[in-house]
Every structure is written in C-alpha cells, then in structure tokens.
Amino acid sequence: MVNHVTSSQVYALVVVGVATCWGVIVLAWVAGALYNASRGPRAETTRQLTSHAATGFIVAALAWSIVRVFPGSDWHSLTVGTPWVRVLGLAILIGSTAFTLWARVAIGTMWSSSPTVKVQHQLRTDGPYGVTRHPIYTGLLGMLLGTVLLVGFGHWLVLLPVGLVFIEIRIHMEEGLMLATFPNAYPRYRRRVPQLVPGLRRLHRSRTADT
C-alpha cells in the first residue's frame, strides 16, 4: 500500500523546517551579540548607510511594492507543489543554515551588526572565509533560496531579489571599510576568493583558460 503525503503533512514540514532553521539563526545572533557586547573588543571605525529601522523599512517597502505590482493570480501561477522541489529546498535550507552558523562562529568577536572595524581587527581568510569573502551573507542568501523552494515559490519569490539587494548594499559598505583598513592584504584576498558565490572565481578561471 502506497502512503501519499497529505497537504497537512507538507504544511507541517514547511513550517517546522523554516521555523527551526531561521529560529536557530536568530538565537545564535542574539546570543552572539550579547556575548560580544560584554566581552568583545570595542569598535574603532563604523560605517552605516542608514539606521537599522530605516533599512528594514526600505526593504519591506520594496518587497511590498513588488508584490503589489503583480496580481495575485500571477503569483499563484508560480506556485510549485512538486515534492522533490520542496525536498531540495529543505536540503538547501539546512545546509545553508549550517554554513551560516559556521561563518558566524569563525568570525567570533570580530562580528558586528553594522560594518565595523574593531580594535586589533583581524582579517579572516580561512575556513568559511576561504570559500567566499562574505560567507554569512552567502549562507543567508542560500537560506532564502531554500525557503523559497520549500514553500513552493509563489509570492515568496520576492525574498530573493530583495534579499540580494540588501546584501549587496551591506557588502559594498563592508568592502570599502576592509579596503581602507587592510589596503595591502584585502586586494590580494579579493582577487583570490569570490565575493558571494562559492566556486565562481574558479569557474571563471577555467573558462578563461579554455578560451
């Protein structure tokens, strides 16, 4: 007798998967922020484009605008209920969550919620920082992709372009700060390690070699 997966079981899988992975990230960030506030080195240089509240408002407004531009029927037509898509999404979500946590642990007390250079700041280039220059953002973007696949696309697709815009803004600020702080080491590091997508630099080199 073949057991068919019911819609309620799929819904439970989606809710548990998304809530668990994102909940773990939130808890890790709160715990890390509290630890850094009490034992981490003080900030020496900070660069902020705008306040966190304003940034969140801009991102939310952008997401709302994209959703409102297209009618609900269009988003519904993009919904996918294929089981293998959801399984793939769950695998990507779990793997990206683990990668994000690895990157957060690796940077330790050098992490901050805003682009910041701390006293005796060290440039990390090993571990996850040898995979991409911004592995936390790589992991978070992977989590967004996994979430979108797991929930079956639809209007959740908005998460990807909006999340990418927000991440690129943050990366632009952080790269400028790192270049100013490590004018010799960071350019070499940037030439060697891709910004956000693992293996992208190696793929580009192989294509260049083939041509």
- The single residue listed with the structure tokens 């910041």 is 116
Overall average pLDDT of the 139-157 stretch: 88
Residue at 1 is within a domain = no
Residue at 90 is within a domain = yes
pLDDT over 50 at 1, yes or no: no
Full-model pTM = 0.81
Residue at 48 is within a domain = yes
Based on the structure, what is the number of domains in the chain? 1
pLDDT in tens, 66-125: 666 666 555 555 567 678 888 899 999 999 999 999 999 998 877 876 666 666 678 889
Query: What residue numbers bound the domain in which 97 lies?
Result: 7-210
pLDDT over 90 at 32, yes or no: no
Residue at 84 is within a domain = yes
What are the structure tokens assigned to 185, written together?
A: 């080491």
SS3 content of the chain, % helix, strand, coil (to 5): 75, 5, 25
Residue at 14 is within a domain = yes
Residue at 106 is within a domain = yes
Give the E-state strand segments of 40-107 in sequence order: 43-46
Residue at 38 is within a domain = yes
Cβ atoms 143, 93 nearer than 8 A: yes
pLDDT over 90 at 20, yes or no: yes
Residue at 87 is within a domain = yes
Overall average pLDDT of the 136-162 stretch: 88
Q: Residue 168: which pLDDT band, with cuts at 50, 70 and 90?
A: confident
Among the ranges given (29-33, 56-60, 123-127, 147-151), the one the predictor scored with the smallest mean pLDDT: 56-60
pLDDT over 60 at 209, yes or no: no
Overall average pLDDT of the 144-166 stretch: 84
CATH (domain of 118): 1.20.120.1630
